[in-house]
Structure 1
Amino acid sequence: MGSAVGLAVGRGTGPELATVFTRTVEKFGLLYETEIGVARSPRIYHSYHSLMADGGTARIRRLTEEDAGHYEQFCRAQAALGTTAVFRTAMNAQSLYLVRERLQAVKVDVITTPAAELLVVRDEAQGFYTGENSHRPGVVTRTMTFDRAITEKVVAFALERARRQWPGQRPDRILMAYKFHLLDGALDEWVREISARRGVDLELCQPDTVNRNLIEHGLPARTLVISGNEWADIMHVVLLDRFASERQENRYTENVHLHPDVAGLSEYQTVHGSADDLAGRDLVNPVATLRAAAAIVEHHAHCPGAVRAMELALDDLRGRGILTADRGGRHSTTAVVDELLDVLAAHHLDGEHFAGSR
């Protein structure tokens, strides 16, 4: 059975990571004897660095909107074709946030400790990271919106995702981290009503209160945090470090679009940015992209066991010191990927770690 996934590429190290992604998907397709097509967007999207290279506010605004419009239409077209996953390398945040607002996106991440799991559902569809800019000499005014219907949609998604994460068990605690004191009590009112109607205890907290509680009390076994984008964007690297001893350079996340026009389309991304200073030097850490590729083929392209196979292959490379410089090694991006794909093939031939493959 064939499958298709989308691919969107930004500047900086995007082209190099796109090669890592396509090579990995092709390898899994061969190992699982399944055809996995990769539909690549024809546009190379700007990074912030590439936008600033030539400067000019009017030009930046124009290119930002062009990138956002193009990427939004690419996502809509992929969803219309029945594609359920897109891998995107880093692109300029302002363009990306416009698309997330228009397609009503949430970002999902699970942080695991030996004794607990933290499920973070980040509201990307509204709030301080969304909105439009207007300019007059010496002043930029940014206008954004909070919406009751969007809040309801985000909470409903988070509760359903928690049920999938912990089948048969309820979260021990559900926190909502928003700057609600700035909203005239409206968000308070909405959350109380949603909480009562759904029969769940939603604790609406200021972001600094959430931080204090996590530091003071740690994590219950199952914690769900529904958050404004601005809190989670800043805190993600801290949560990874404190609770999982992980680094963002090795992580990917999943964005799910809730707009009915693109329902069912997930976007996977590396947590790290475009790393323009490393572009074209064959030095970028490929681990986040490799993990994203494995997750996509397992969950969207009929390759059961791909995630576990990838983790074991990465463990193999780490044990032998085959790492990029940022992880303490001396190997290029290409050398790491070459070796990893060979390890995947060797494990497959040995009949290991590829449940469901032939």
Structure 2
Amino acid sequence: MKIALLPGDGIGPEVSAQAVRVLEALDLPGVEMRTADVGGIAFRNHGHPLPKETLDLARASEAILFGAVGDPACDDLKRELRPEQAILGLRAELGLFANLRPAKLFEGLEELSTLRPEVASAIDLLIVRELNGDVYFGAKGIDTLENGEREGWDRMSYRTSEVRRIAELAFRAAQGRRGKVTSVDKANVLETSQVWRDTVIEVAKDFPDVALEHMYVDNAAMQLVRAPGAFDVVLTGNLFGDILSDQASVCVGSIGLLASASLGERRTDHGTFGLYEPIHGSAPDIAGKDIANPMAMILSAAMMLRHSFGCEAEAARIEAAVAKALGNGVRGGDIGGEAGCREVGDAVLARL
């Protein structure tokens, strides 16, 4: 079980350390974990946010456990040298095209949601976001017009093959859940979305046991706060998925509680190669203070065990331990508590 551990910047190393403690406590046989620099720390040590050594390690591994990247000291660097380019580079180089972000309210945390408790308690959804296309990877530039005015532009595009593979993954995920896919687009305005919608309709024919509905992105954003319990699997593109997944995290109370998986087509001996990370950022303002909440990172490790190594029982144990710790009142500062990073890790270990 070869794991590349990339702690990254800010609170990344702190929360990663707690996830490693949980993994070690499981005492799984054959685990080989190797660490490398990524992000701002990699730029300082190697001159690039994604050094060749780190990329080689990632390629030689069966899964990547990723902390966070982002360093204000790097904000003035050229775009290609900024820490955030590391995660985009890993997605592109390793073919990680599908981002899975589950959002479910933990029992007892209803009051933390910005929604009414009876609305928030119904949240149990999975956002499946395409990662390799859209405006993030399209051609882009800044032009100077004849009158001297600057104009920025980004090309949004999707090929049928790109939509098909992410749609198939979303429909398979729905088969293991409640059997419903909501495809989010803006087909009334964007030609890119029309290709998206037409392709999703074709893919749906291969999954007659899954119900499909289409929703424009503005309506989807509204329904996520009006009736989030109506969603099961939300399938969408890179840009819309980036926004909606963060909105869903607020609906369940804290961005510090949500894990994510970025998967590709490569198969390992045990499952699917993937990169696993909490959806929060590097939070440099609290780095080194032992106050970051590591639960999202610990839950990301659980997702890694499930998807890349086929360890369903162990993944479920971790998730149950986190839920029990939260139910017992163990809370980090992001959810109104006073438990420090290591203290949260201790609590999860005790319940494991």
TM-score normalised per structure 2 = 0.73
- The aligned length equals 312
Match of 2:58 among 75, 78, 87: 75
Q: Secondary structure at the match of 1:89?
A: strand
Q: Structure 1: any 5+ residue segments left out of the alignment?
A: 54-61, 345-358
Per-residue CA deviations over 1:188-210 (Å, capped at 9, x if unaligned) read: 44444444576676444320122
Give the whole-Å Cα distance in 2 for the aligned partners of 1:339 and 1:213: 35
* Alpha carbons of structure 1 residues 71 and 191: separation in structure 2 relative to 1, 3 Å: farther
Give the whole-Å Cα distance in 1 for the aligned partners of 2:330 and 2:256: 16
Per-residue CA deviations over 1:65-101 (Å, capped at 9, x if unaligned) read: x5287665443332xxxx2x22111224444234334
Provide the residue aligned with 1:336 in structure 2: 344
Match status 1:97 vs 2:109? no
2:177–2:232 Cα contact (<8 Å) kept: no
Give the whole-Å Cα distance in 2 for the aligned partners of 1:292 and 1:330: 22
* Alpha carbons of structure 1 residues 228 and 309: separation in structure 2 relative to 1, 3 Å: same
Provide the residue aligned with 1:281 in structure 2: 289
1:178–1:227 Cα contact (<8 Å) kept: yes
Which amino acid letter does the alignment assign opposite residue 205 of structure 1?
M
Q: How does 1:305-316 map to 2 (within 5 A)?
A: 305-315=313-323
Match of 1:162 among 171, 174, 178: 174
Match of 1:226 among 235, 251, 255: 235
Q: Structure 2: any 5+ residue segments left out of the alignment?
A: 70-82, 106-120, 145-149
The alpha-carbon deviation at position 327 of structure 1 amounts to 3.1
* Alpha carbons of structure 1 residues 277 and 319: separation in structure 2 relative to 1, 3 Å: same
Q: Secondary structure at the match of 1:272?
A: coil
Which sits farther off after the overlay, 291-300 or 16-25? 291-300
Q: How does 1:1-358 map to 2 (within 5 A)?
A: 3-29=1-27, 34-40=29-35, 42-46=36-40, 63=48, 67=50, 73-78=56-61, 83=62, 85-91=63-69, 92-102=83-93, 103-112=95-104, 117-134=124-141, 140-166=152-178, 170-171=179-180, 174-180=181-187, 181-183=189-191, 185-195=194-204, 202-214=212-224, 219-220=229-230, 223-242=232-251, 245-258=252-265, 264-297=272-305, 300=308, 305-315=313-323, 317-318=325-326, 321-344=329-352
2:15–2:297 Cα contact (<8 Å) kept: yes
1:21–1:293 Cα contact (<8 Å) kept: yes
TM-score normalised per structure 1 = 0.72
% identical equivalent positions:
21
The alpha-carbon deviation at position 272 of structure 1 amounts to 0.8
Which sits farther off after the overlay, 7-16 or 181-190? 181-190
Give the whole-Å Cα distance in 1 for the aligned partners of 2:214 and 2:51: 32
1:17–1:289 Cα contact (<8 Å) kept: yes
Per-residue CA deviations over 1:269-297 (Å, capped at 9, x if unaligned) read: 10111111112222211111222223434
Q: Secondary structure at the match of 1:253?
A: strand
Give the whole-Å Cα distance in 1 for the aligned partners of 2:202 and 2:68: 37
Give the whole-Å Cα distance in 2 for the aligned partners of 1:198 and 1:339: 42
Per-residue CA deviations over 1:295-349 (Å, capped at 9, x if unaligned) read: 43455557554344334544554466544333333333223323432443xxxxx
Which amino acid letter does the alignment assign opposite residue 206 of structure 1?
Y
Which amino acid letter does the alignment assign opposite residue 24 of structure 1?
V
